[in-house]
Amino acid sequence: MQTESGSDDTLIRYLRGELAEAERDRVEELFFADDQLYGRLQMLESQMIDSYVRGRLPPDQRDRFARLVRNSPEQRRKVEFAEALRRLADRQAIAPSRRPWWESVLGFLQARTPAVRIALAAAAVALLAMPVVYFQHARRANAPVRQAAVPQPRPAPKSPDRTPETPPQRTVPVLAFVLSPLERGGGEENRVVIPAGESTIRLQLNLEDGQIEPLSATIRTADGVPVGEFSGLKPQGAGPGQRAVFVSLPSSRFRDGQYVVRLSHVAAGGSPELVGGYGFRVKRAR
């Protein structure tokens, strides 16, 4: 949580329960008397809730906050809302375009009837639910169409797919693939075709049981050479009745060949338990 003023700092310390009694009493008097200050306190509280759902509060803060949440149905609803918003934003991040493609098309055609929207949304959901790999075009290819479709373009191009590893202002296409567990996939081979050039590979690992967390994922070649390791993964909604975890890594990590993903859960003090296995073959375009 960033602070922009001394007043924010005091309010944050109030929320964290770090103020001495007299100082706490003073803050209470101030926010009871001043609606604007109370609004500010609520804003800082919502940021704290966001930090809580993203697991960013230090352990002592987290424990205290968890107790406050348990004590209050209102706070519980706020936490559930923050979790829903986080998941919605994360889900949107999987798409390479800033706006859903169907929305751009709708904007372009100016056909915003509910029936058309529902039909297109259903088509998008069906695409996401496909048990085999899907591929979405790089953002560069879509950009001119989107610009033409949106009457008032967004002020500046920004990269919603940007990961912390990629420098700002660069446009790296994100290629998203859906993988089903090997048992359920029925032996179909998932093929991942990576075009030439730099891109980010985002894998959606569909789950049989979405309630287990946290999860760890390892990606290895068929020979056992590690390609990527991820821990602390939380299952997210990935379409109607489907839950999945998402991992992203640069396309440069992959060569032509077979890859295996192992998804595990480590219970407190226990050994890793395999939750699912996934396989896919990579073919790099020359």
Where along the sequence are the contacts to other proteins (CB under 8 A)?
2, 4, 14-15, 17, 25, 28-29, 31-33, 35, 38, 41-43, 45-46, 50, 54, 56, 64, 67-81, 83-90, 92-93, 98-99, 103, 150, 152, 154-156, 158, 160, 162-164, 168-169, 211, 237
The phi, psi pair for 166, rounded to 5°, reads -90, 135
- 167 DSSP assignment: P
Q: How far is the CB of 241 from other proteins (least distance, A)?
A: 10
Cβ proximity to other proteins, 55 vs 226, nearer residue:
55
Cβ proximity to other proteins, 123 vs 225, nearer residue:
123
Cβ proximity to other proteins, 124 vs 260, nearer residue:
124
The rounded distance, in Å, linking the Cα atoms of 71 and 81 is: 17
Cβ proximity to other proteins, 104 vs 190, nearer residue:
104
Q: How far is the CB of 285 from other proteins (least distance, A)?
A: 28
Q: Which residues contact 71 (CB under 8 A, 6 or more apart)?
A: none
Cβ proximity to other proteins, 96 vs 185, nearer residue:
96
Handedness of CA 235, 238, 243, 249 (dihedral sign): negative
Q: How far is the CB of 93 from other proteins (least distance, A)?
A: 5
Cβ proximity to other proteins, 4 vs 256, nearer residue:
4
**For the sheet containing 243-250, what is the strand order?**
174-179, 200-206, 243-250, 236-237
Provide the pairing of β-strand 200-206 with 191-194: unpaired
The rounded distance, in Å, linking the Cα atoms of 225 and 26 is: 60
Q: How far is the CB of 223 from other proteins (least distance, A)?
A: 33
Q: How far is the CB of 63 from other proteins (least distance, A)?
A: 12
The rounded distance, in Å, linking the Cα atoms of 140 and 171 is: 8
Q: How far is the CB of 77 from other proteins (least distance, A)?
A: 7
CB 182 within 8 A of CB 248: no
CB 136 within 8 A of CB 162: no
Cβ proximity to other proteins, 71 vs 252, nearer residue:
71
For 137, the token pair is 């075009």
Report the DSSP beta bridge partners of residue 260: 220, 279
For 36, the token pair is 């604007």
Q: How far is the CB of 276 from other proteins (least distance, A)?
A: 19
